[in-house]
Amino acid sequence: MFSMEEKAENWIWICMGTGVAVLWLIYKMRKKQNEEKERASGVPRGNSGWPLLGETLDFIASGYTSRPVTFMEKRKSLYGNVFKSNILGKGIIVSTDAEVNKVVLQNNGDVFIPCYPKSITELFGKNSILQMNGPVHRRLHGLIGSFLKSPQLKARITRDIEASVRHFLSTWLEKQHSIVYVQDEAKKISFEVLVKLILSVDPGEELSLLKNEFEELTKGLICLPIKLPGTTLYKSLKAKERLTRMVGKMVEERKLSMEKKEEKGFPNDAIDVLLGNADGAKQPLPYDFISANLIEMMIPGEETVPTAITLAVKFLSDNPVALDCLLEENLELKQQKISCCEDYSWTDYLSMRFTQNVISETLRLANIINAVWRKSLKDVKIKGHLIPKGWCVLASFTSVHMDEENYENPYNFYPSRWEKVGVAVTSNTFTPFGGGQRLCPGLELSRLEISIFLHHLVTTYRWVAEKDEIVYFPTVKMKNKLPINIMPLQQSPLIQTKQN
């Protein structure tokens, strides 16, 4: 027999269990009703996952595998190229369809606006080019784009990149029979080049301080959006404050210097461009706006370009046939320049066909910008799929790049495929630099820097690469920074990958 207390306790447990079961049943019924309504309206099929969490854990876990598109592939096989999910607590539409992605990229500002994780919006704020829309975005994008495409800059930046690459590669001679970490070295080169282009800061203490602060800032790009002391985001925000003061001081000093000059020449750097209102606009850009975007422009120097350089070296190390073709093409250019006593030009580097194929294949296989997030301002239908107002769209570039319908044997590194495919910037199936109004204005500069690095690397050194693997979350990088042992070119006829 049960005592009164035991009966009461059992009754409580029964009531609690019944309550939980009823709540779960109500949740499932409402979920089913909502799915039926969505299906009737044209919202893509999919799975919202667990309450609150959604499918976030599966999404993150796929980034730690050798095939990060497994999250997309699994759901694509169940629901089609466009499907519904719930990531980071938000209902989203995921597109692995090249044509849908194109529409999302082209319809910027009037239908779709940027929608980034909270940590990114916290770090870069309202003045960020990532978040702005309309005339201000077009103005800033146009100013920087015109500057980067100017013939005067192309000649100068080619010399600057060459000088930086040659300097760093020359220091490797001291490291013979020891390890060189390609990822670290590529970051040093890219950051030095880009900061000189943006701020006219030369190597030295000031550059080192900027790099240290910027490294701290980038740690918070993808993290939990918690701003308590000691957290990653808190530390990154403090680094951003210090960077803003440093860059803001440079902007103010440059403005005073420009006011003393009677004639305006060609902009020397991005500060000159943004202060000079080179587009003829009457309203000057605010100082805080300029400082914020100058800091944001440093991202390619710390993340995207050095990562692409590192991955190119990784793929070439694993593919000696491709490396031999690259070496042959670059040695031919080097010998031509030596015999003619001519300097290299921007065109020389970008006209090397196989080198550009290597870069394209690297960007396809391990796309640095693997997707973009956009928020719909109104209900919109694309190829019969409804994207409801207020929902986010994740346009997956990686899924398109790794689709067998677009590329034969997509997981193989095969640069020669681009002889047939072509590298058209407007291609729907190749979008490493984004697209539409937000197409990266520095795409040619990025290719130039990678080309110069590869040219001087393969015509100067041979190397033995340690075994390493690519990590895809939170950003693409090498797990061990790609360690290699180097030796002068004439000492070894072979490039090998060390097998463990």
Tens digit of pLDDT per residue, the chain (500 long)?
556 655 566 666 666 667 666 665 665 555 555 555 555 457 999 988 877 778 888 888 887 877 888 899 999 999 999 999 988 777 899 999 999 999 999 876 789 988 888 888 888 887 788 888 888 888 888 889 999 999 989 999 999 999 999 999 999 988 767 799 999 999 999 999 999 999 999 999 999 999 999 999 998 887 878 899 999 999 999 999 999 999 999 999 999 988 887 667 788 999 999 998 644 555 788 888 999 999 999 988 888 999 999 999 999 999 999 999 999 999 999 999 999 999 999 999 999 999 999 999 999 998 888 889 999 999 999 999 999 999 999 999 999 999 999 999 999 999 999 998 765 545 789 999 988 888 889 999 999 999 999 999 999 999 999 999 998 887 889 999 999 999 998 754 444 444 44
**What CA–CA distance (Å, rounded) separates 215 from 124?**
14
Q: Output DSSP code: residue 68.
A: T
Distance CA(76)–CA(70), nearest Å, equals 9
- Determine the Cα–Cα distance for residues 200 and 194; give it in Å rounded to an integer: 9
pTM listed for this prediction: 0.88
With tokens 């900061």, the residue in question is 195
Q: What is residue 44's DSSP assignment?
A: P
Q: Which residues contact 154 (CB under 8 A, 6 or more apart)?
A: 346
Give Rg (Cα) of the chain: 26
User: Which residue is listed with tokens 């921007």?
Assistant: 346
> Residue 67 corresponds to which tokens in the numbers above?
């095939």
Dmax over Cα atoms in the chain, in whole Å? Answer: 105
**Separation CA 461–CA 88 (nearest Å):** 45
> Which 8-state DSSP code applies to residue 251?
H
Q: How far is CA 337 from CA 158, 191, 331, 341, in A?
A: 15, 28, 10, 6
Q: Which residues contact 263 (CB under 8 A, 6 or more apart)?
A: none
Nearest to residue 199, comparing CAs of 110, 297, 315?
297
Q: Cβ distance 133 to 127 under 8 Å?
A: no
What whole-number distance in Å separates Cα of residue 186 and Cα of residue 456? 13
Backbone angles phi, psi at 114, to 5 degrees: -60, 145
Query: b/e for 439-473, b at 16 or more Cβ within 10 A?
Result: ebbbebbbbbbbbbbbbbbbebbbbbbbebebbbb
350 and 455 Cβ atoms separated by less than 8 Å:
no
| Distance in angstroms (rounded) separating the CA atoms of residues 457 and 116 | 36
Helix and strand numbers, DSSP H then E, in the chain? 20, 13
Q: Are 313 and 378 in contact (CB under 8 A)?
A: no
Any idea how long the chain is?
A: 500
Peptide bond into 493 cis (omega under 30): no
Residues 321, 237: Cα–Cα separation, whole Å: 46
According to the 3-state scheme, what is the secondary structure of 424-487? CCCCCCCCCCCCHHHCCCCHHHHHHHHHHHHHHHHCCEEEEECCCCEECCCCCEECCCCEEEEE
Tokens 């606006």 locate to: 113
Contact 123, 237 (CB under 8 A): yes
Tokens of 237: 């925000």
In this structure, are residues 308 and 368 in contact, taking their beta carbons and an 8 Å threshold? yes
Question: Beta-strand (E) ranges in 232-356?
Answer: none
Pair type for strands 371-376 and 90-95: unpaired
Query: CA nearest 220: which of 335, 123, 351?
Result: 123
What is the spatial distance between Cα 412 and Cα 319, in angstroms, rounded to a whole number? 10
* Residue 440 marked as a ligand binder: yes
